[in-house]
């Protein structure tokens, strides 16, 4: 994505649903459209729930990277709600 | 009961009780002499604030100031004297409301929130539930009660397995391979472990997939999409002292086949049922094949006729001692 800026990430390992989603959502709200947030999530429930909730909010997951056995790093592109249908 | 009937008939002449209203049910006799519970008609468990206020008001003036919320989504007003039936019925009618039914009739259908606002919902349960209520509520079956429910997704909050006819929302996913970026979020999202990566693409185990659509909902590039959406139909279930789990009989049934399916089932049940048996007992007696042949196969729907196809919908545990 041209012009996308990578922000400092959120490490949400050990954070339970839905707090992990809420914190990600709030962080994204502070950002500009087109900026990228890195989020680290535990495998299991967080990975089952958070990506889908982010998609429902209109954001786009650009990349999913496995970190060892137990966690994943996501790159999330901030998109303004309603701008992308 | 005979003494009460005689007394009621005598009263009816005096209070002009509408016996048709009484017989249609909705007024349930209690232990206490002369007292009944008024079962209100609340299809899909959805009430306007106006109706809710009216129920509270009726409970205050004719009951004991409290309501009971029944397991099938009805708001019930206990401790109402039968002398007030006419007044209660009139007040309900004035706001376009009425009581529910009991006896050998199609009961008020029940439903979850559905896709109108629940993110898990795959089908619009409320809309179809209201239409079933409008068109079929109170229809006599000639045998026993007939319960219909709608669950928007495989979580099946509305227990379609326990219904004479249950409709459960389901989707069939498909992968647009050229769009897939191999992120594996679909694999992660799947609670059934029905997806695994094969040569960089998610491959589905149809024997495990329950059609919940979580893979579709998560796909960030819309490579996983809906191939088909509809109702998984279950027939012949019941709760009570001798529960029966329903059979999955048809899949991806489109909205326009819901009424033909219900109406054909009712017609079949009316004709083939014996005495006071539920649909599930009729099916057990005559054989599921006969129900499938006479009701489902003639419809333009996908029949589920292989028991192995049904098996993946079953949990373990104590299935009432059955197989």
Q: What is the DSSP letter of B159?
A: -
pLDDT in tens, B25-37: 799 999 999 999 9
Contact B40, B99 (CB under 8 A): yes
Instruction: Answer whether B184 sits within 8 Å of A64, measured CB to CB.
Output: yes
- Those residues with Cβ within 8 angstroms of residue A16's Cβ, 6 or more apart along the chain or in another chain: A45, A46
**Residue B139 pLDDT:** 95
Instruction: Answer whether A51 sits within 8 Å of B218, measured CB to CB.
Output: yes
Structure tokens, B80: 């109402």
Chain A interface includes B192 (CB < 8 A):
no
Q: What is the DSSP letter of B64?
A: S
Chain A interface includes B191 (CB < 8 A):
yes
B156: left (phi over 0), alpha (psi -120 to 50) or beta: left
CA distance from start to end of chain B: 41
Rounded-to-integer distance, Cα B66 and Cα A82, Å: 44
Chain A interface includes B187 (CB < 8 A):
no
* Residue in chain A nearest B181 by alpha carbon: A63
Closest CA to A50 of B107, A42, B248, B80: A42
Chain A interface includes B214 (CB < 8 A):
yes
Instruction: Answer whether A51 sits within 8 Å of B191, measured CB to CB.
Output: no
Chain A positions contacting chain B at CB under 8 Å are 43, 47-48, 51-52, 55-56, 60-64, 72
Structure tokens, A42: 């535990």
List of chain B residues whose C-beta atoms are within 8 Å of the C-beta of residue A61: 183, 185, 220
Instruction: Answer whether A51 sits within 8 Å of B189, measured CB to CB.
Output: yes
Cis before residue A18, ω within 30 degrees of 0? yes
- Those residues with Cβ within 8 angstroms of residue B318's Cβ, 6 or more apart along the chain or in another chain: none
Rounded-to-integer distance, Cα B2 and Cα B8, Å: 10
* Band (A4; pLDDT cuts 50, 70, 90): very low
Instruction: Answer whether B188 sits within 8 Å of A52, measured CB to CB.
Output: no
Nearest Cβ partner for A60 among B184, B217, B220: B220
Instruction: Answer whether A56 sits within 8 Å of B119, measured CB to CB.
Output: yes
Residue to mutate among B183, B197, B220, B225, with most A CBs inside 10 A, is B220
User: pLDDT digit of tens for each residue in chain B (323 aa)?
Assistant: 666 676 666 655 555 555 555 556 799 999 999 999 999 999 999 999 999 999 999 999 999 999 999 999 999 999 999 999 999 999 999 999 999 988 899 999 999 999 999 999 999 999 999 999 999 999 999 999 999 999 999 999 999 999 999 999 999 999 999 999 999 999 999 999 999 999 999 999 999 999 999 999 999 999 999 999 999 999 999 999 999 999 999 999 999 999 999 999 999 999 999 999 999 999 999 999 999 999 999 999 999 999 888 888 877 777 655 55
Nearest Cβ partner for B188 among A48, A56, A62: A48
pLDDT in tens, B72-104: 999 999 999 999 999 999 999 999 999 998 889
List of chain A residues whose C-beta atoms are within 8 Å of the C-beta of residue B185: 47, 51, 61, 64
**What distance in Å separates residue A47's CA from the closest CA in chain B?**
6
Contact A53, A45 (CB under 8 A): no
Instruction: Answer whether B220 sits within 8 Å of A55, measured CB to CB.
Output: yes
């Amino acid at each position: 994505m041209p012009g996308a800026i990578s922000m400092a990430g959120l490490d949400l390992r050990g954070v339970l649903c839905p707090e992990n989603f809420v914190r990600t959502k709030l962080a994204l709200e502070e950002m500009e459209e087109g900026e990228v947030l890195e989020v680290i999530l535990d495998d299991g429930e967080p990975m089952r729930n958070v990506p889908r909730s982010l998609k429902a909010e209109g954001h786009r997951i650009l990349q999913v990277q496995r970190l060892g056995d137990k966690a994943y790093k996501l790159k999330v592109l901030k998109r303004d709600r309603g701008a992308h249908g | 009961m005979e003494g009460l009937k005689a007394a009621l008939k005598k009263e009816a002449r005096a209070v002009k009780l509408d016996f048709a209203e009484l017989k249609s049910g909705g007024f349930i006799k209690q232990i206490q002499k002369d007292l009944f519970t008024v079962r209100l008609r609340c299809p899909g468990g959805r009430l306007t604030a106006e109706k809710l206020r009216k129920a509270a008001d009726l409970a205050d003036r004719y009951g004991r100031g409290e309501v009971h919320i029944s397991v099938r989504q009805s708001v019930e007003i206990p401790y109402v004297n039968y002398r007030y039936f006419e007044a209660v019925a009139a007040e309900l009618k004035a706001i376009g409301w009425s009581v529910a039914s009991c006896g050998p009739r199609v009961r008020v259908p029940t439903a979850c929130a559905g896709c109108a606002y629940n993110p898990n919902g795959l089908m619009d349960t409320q809309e179809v539930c209201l239409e079933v209520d409008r068109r079929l509520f109170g229809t006599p079956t000639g045998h026993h009660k007939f319960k219909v429910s709608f669950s928007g997704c495989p979580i099946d909050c509305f227990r379609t397995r326990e219904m004479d006819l249950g409709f459960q929302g389901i989707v069939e996913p498909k992968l647009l391979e050229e769009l897939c970026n191999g992120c594996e979020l679909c694999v992660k999202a799947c609670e059934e472990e029905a997806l695994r990566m094969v040569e960089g693409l998610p491959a589905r185990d149809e024997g495990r997939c329950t059609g919940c659509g979580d893979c579709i909902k998560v796909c960030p590039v819309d490579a996983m999409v809906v191939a088909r959406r509809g109702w998984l139909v279950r027939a012949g279930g019941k709760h009570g002292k001798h529960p029966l789990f329903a059979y999955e009989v048809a899949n991806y049934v489109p909205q326009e086949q819901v009424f033909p399916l219900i109406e054909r089932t009712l017609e079949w049940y009316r004709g083939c049922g014996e005495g006071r048996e539920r649909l599930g007992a009729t099916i057990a007696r005559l054989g599921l094949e006969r129900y499938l042949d006479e009701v489902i196969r003639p419809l333009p729907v996908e029949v589920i006729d292989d028991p192995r196809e049904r098996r993946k919908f079953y949990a373990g545990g104590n299935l009432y001692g059955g197989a």
